[in-house]
């Protein structure tokens, strides 16, 4: 079983730090475990520190007044979550929940800010992480506003092939219901679109295994093409 320090040492945020510094970081962290479905924090809670996922899988999401959910990110091991209030404002802009049994490291805000002030490379690492997230958000806004649901699903499948690079078969890392929420739609609509894509011989679906039959066709669709009739 991996200890705190070795987890810390392997997350990109702490890349390039000396052993001594890693030990110090290990000293300020707190480990917590969460069951599947357990809340990590809620939108609007005061954020007195941030988390790094050590194992498991976590969703960060918003909920509408009618209860509809939009997932903003899904993060696995190595990703920080809830870092926005560390640097601005004081409340979490969204909620976070474990979608499987997860272990998280917690870093108190003040200790971390002290550390970052002394460690330019840590600051630059964090800047890089936030920049990547900004980039991802531009894509999410683009998807929601400028693309229809079939195109969003196609983009997601292409993203998965790159993530998993397992040839033409990918396996959905989350339930179809959660995927609907990530893509900004509902399970009924997602189901119908899987159907249409199957009819068009772009994919085959067996449970969470998706086979991509026509990579080029899927790419066309993802860059905002249409799915005929």
Partner DNA sequence: GTAAGGCCTTGACCTAAGTCAATGGGGCTC
Partner DNA sequence: GAGCCCCATTGACTTAGGTCAAGGCCTTAC
- Nearest distance from residue 76's CB to DNA, in Å? 18
Cβ proximity of 56 and 62 under 8 Å: no
3-state SS track over 97-130: EECCCEEEEEEEHHHHHHHHHHCHHHHHHHHHHH
User: Quick one: 63 or 189, whose CB is closer to DNA?
Assistant: 189
Backbone angles phi, psi at 31, to 5 degrees: -100, 140
14 interacts with, out of a second copy, DNA, none, CB within 5 to 8 A per kind: none
Q: Which residues contact a second copy (rule: CB under 8 A)?
A: 62-66, 68, 70, 72, 83-89, 93-94, 113, 116-118, 120-121, 123-124, 126-135, 137-142, 144-147, 184, 223-224
Q: Count CB atoms within 10 A of the CB of residue 18.
A: 10
Rounded CA-CA distance 31/171 in Å is: 30
For residue 133, state whether it binds DNA (rule: CB under 7 A). no
Residue among 50, 157, 53 nearest 100 (CA): 53
For residues 89 to 128, the per-residue mask of contacts with DNA, x marking binding by CB under 7 A and - elsewhere, is ----------------------------------------
Can you give the binding site for DNA, defined by CB under 7 A?
Answer: 66, 68, 148-150, 175-177, 184-192, 194-195, 205
């Amino acid at each position: 079983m991996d200890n705190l320090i070795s987890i810390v040492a392997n997350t990109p945020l702490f890349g390039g730090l000396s052993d001594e510094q890693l030990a110090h970081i290990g000293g300020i962290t707190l480990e917590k475990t969460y069951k599947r479905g357990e809340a990590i924090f809620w939108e609007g809670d005061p954020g007195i520190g941030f988390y790094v996922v050590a194992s498991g899988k976590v969703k960060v999401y918003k909920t509408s007044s009618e209860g509809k959910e939009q997932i903003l990110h899904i993060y696995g091991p190595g990703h920080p979550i809830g870092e926005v209030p560390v640097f601005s404002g004081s409340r979490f802009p969204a909620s976070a929940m474990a979608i499987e049994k997860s272990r998280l490291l917690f870093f108190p805000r003040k200790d971390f800010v002290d550390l970052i002030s002394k460690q330019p490379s840590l600051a630059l690492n964090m800047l890089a992480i936030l920049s990547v997230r900004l980039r991802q958000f531009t894509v999410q806004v683009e998807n929601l506003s400028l693309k229809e649901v079939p195109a969003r699903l196609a983009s997601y499948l292409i993203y998965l092939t790159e993530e998993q690079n397992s040839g033409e078969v990918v396996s959905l890392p989350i339930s179809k219901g959660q995927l609907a929420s990530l893509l900004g739609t509902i399970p009924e609509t997602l189901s119908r679109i899987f159907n249409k894509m199957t009819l068009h011989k772009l994919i085959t679906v067996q449970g969470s295994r998706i086979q991509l039959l026509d990579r080029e066709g899927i790419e066309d669709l993802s860059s905002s093409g249409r799915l005929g009739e």
